[in-house]
Structure 1
Amino acid sequence: MPNGSLDRFLFDSTESSRLSWELRYKIIQGIARGLQYLHEESRYTIVHRDLKASNILLDANMNPKISDFGISKLLGNDLTHASASRIAGTFGYMAPEYVFQGQFSYKSDVFSFGILILEIVTGRKSSSFSYSDIYANLAGYVWEHWAAGEVNEIIEPSLGAEYQMTEVLRCVQIGLLCIQEVPANRPTMSSIVLMFDDVSMSLNVPSHLAFLPVASEVDRPPKDQHSLMELTITDMDPR
């Protein structure tokens, strides 16, 4: 693709200014429609399993294209989930049921999409946080500010005041709904596309992200569990 991958722009202090809010919003919606096709419109349910910024390519008009299907899996029409004997992907984007139990489904991709939304809004990598930070990871960082009504404090700084707050709030809330701990509580991609297309549609309120560490020490999981979630891997035996 002429413009390379999304992470080239998203996480570069110079290039990020080229991503206006209008363009970021367009990219989020484009990825959502791509996943909707993979999950619900193709002959088989295709689970990507490694959705992240570096696997989103941008064409000459900055339209997003989902790429790198090297570890994707097909689910037959009668299957809703499957188990992997070996885990492959990138921690920080991977759903907890996949990380700790090796179970994946189209809801695993929904989780990854939620993390990707939060990265696009904030300009922060999911892996840019450490356990010593006040906010131990991106999800905790966004959750705390959203719950406090302070979403304006987490928006990518290069945007200045050039964004639609209603669209930002909608993106953040959809992102948090996508990363709910229980897969059944995450929306499907068709419902997510509808959430973007119909701005009058009311959204569910996300539950507290119990499996993700936040600012409070009381809410944080054991340090070794968090460290596991922050690693990037290519192949690991879940046992």
Structure 2
Amino acid sequence: MTEKYVENNRRFLISSSSKLLLGLQRSASGFVKFLLLNPVYGATDPINKERLDWERRYKIIGGIARGLLYLHQDSQLRIIHRDLKASNILLDEKLNPKISDFGIARLLLVDQTQVNTNKIVGTYGYMAPEYAMFGEFSVKSDVFSFGVLVLEIISGQKACCVLHGQSQEDLLSFAWRNWREGTITNIIDPSLSNGSRNEIMRCIHIALLCVQENLVERPIMATVVVMLSSYSIFLSVPLEPASIVGGRTRSLRVRDMQSEGESINHASISDPYPR
């Protein structure tokens, strides 16, 4: 059941499977949980590095995707997490992921597709631009956060910064630049050198689709789950992902430049898996 990828939270999950409840009872008496954050980001512990090989990271990505699908579509109540990030993904002793911390989650009514709020809460770096700037959130906001998280899992880098000697850039800019320039291997954690290249490339491709600035261009989680499990699903060419600079997204900056008479050229990328 996809429910097993969601940490029990009585505020939202009306019922849970007996299997999940048993796991949580064991948790209270010492069931080991690992924060995804610590073993992935620049881990120096060789045991953690060995445990989080590509096969396990791929399993974690798939588990998170199915957990989000459950929240968005398959649970009795439709839930938007609003703060999906590495530190809110718990790993059990078998490295199965569970989405946790529903403190700022919101319910969607049956006829709702989007909600507006004046109180913007969450974690910058993971927040979709329409939410960070205008307080508009939907299931596509969680999709954006998922895309950022996938790039973190694959790269071993934090969303806020990728270091280059004395300089740094945000992970989305780093990933997009290397995708566009055909140096996609720079995105991949060196410890994943023995992992399936096709799977890793496809996951990066899916992640870039999830972080599109226009929420209409982002897939829903049901589509993401199918994309991850089937190579028969065609992946469209991603555009430059959202990036908030000085409180403005790329599209707003482009709009400003166009109003000032500057021309904008959009490069097309035809190779889905650049070298």
TM-score by length of 2: 0.74
Partner of 2:243: 212
Conserved? CA contact 1:46–1:75, under 8 Å: yes
Tell me which of the two structures has the higher relative contact order, counting C-alpha pairs closer than 8 angstroms and 6 or more residues apart: 1
Indicate the residue corresponding to 1:164 in structure 2: 196
- Work out whether residues 93 and 112 of structure 1, in 8 Å CA contact, stay in contact via their aligned partners in 2: yes
SS of the aligned residue for 2:225 comes to: helix
Query: What's 1:33 paired with?
Result: 66
RMSD, aligned CA: 2.1
| SS of match in other structure, 2:34 | coil
1:3–1:57 Cα contact (<8 Å) kept = yes
Specify which of 212, 215, 223 is matched with residue 180 of structure 1: 212
C-alpha displacement of 1:55: 0.4
Question: How far 1:133 sits from its partner (Å)?
Answer: 7.1
| Match among 101, 106, 112 for residue 134 of structure 2 | 101
CA contact (8 A) 1:81 1:103 kept: yes
- C-alpha deviation, 1:18, in angstroms: 2.5
For the Cα contact (< 8 Å) 2:162–2:174, is it kept in 1? Answer: no
Is 1:200 the counterpart of 2:232? The answer is yes
Report the alpha carbon displacement of residue 134 of structure 1 after superposing the two structures with TM. 6.0
Aligned to 2:104: 71
Q: One-letter code of the match for 1:151?
A: I
Alpha carbons of structure 1 residues 85 and 138: separation in structure 2 relative to 1, 3 Å:
same
Query: In structure 2, how many angstroms separate the alpha carbons of the residues matched to 1:84 and 1:204?
Result: 32
Identity of aligned residues (%): 47
- Structure 1 164/36 Cα, relative in aligned 2: closer, same or farther at 3 Å? same
Letter in 1 for 2:38: R
Residue 48 of structure 1 pairs with residue 81 of structure 2: yes
Q: Mind listing any 5+ residue stretches in structure 2 that lack a counterpart?
A: 1-30, 250-275
User: Which amino acid in structure 2 is aligned with residue 2 of structure 1?
Assistant: V
Structure 1, gaps ≥5 residues long: 214-220, 227-239
Within 2, Cα distance between the matches of 1:165 and 1:129? 22
Deviation of 1:202 after TM superposition, in Å, equals: 1.5
SS of the aligned residue for 1:46 comes to strand
Counterpart for residue 24 of structure 2: none
Structure 1 distance, partners of 2:160, 2:140, is 21
8 Å contact kept, 1:135–1:141: no
What is the CA-CA distance between 1:5 and the residue it aligns to?
1.2
Residue number in structure 2 paired with 1:119: 152
**Structure 1 position 25, deviation (Å):** 0.4
Structure 2 counterpart of 1:147: 180
Look up the match of 2:44.
13
- How far is 1:176 from its partner? 0.4
Displacement of 1:58: 0.7
Instruction: Name the SS of the counterpart of 2:110 in structure 1.
Output: coil
- Choose 13-22 or 166-175, whichever is displaced more: 13-22
Superimposed CA distance per residue, residues 152-201 of structure 1 (whole angstroms, 9 cap, x where no aligned partner): 12211222x21111001100010000000011110000000010111222
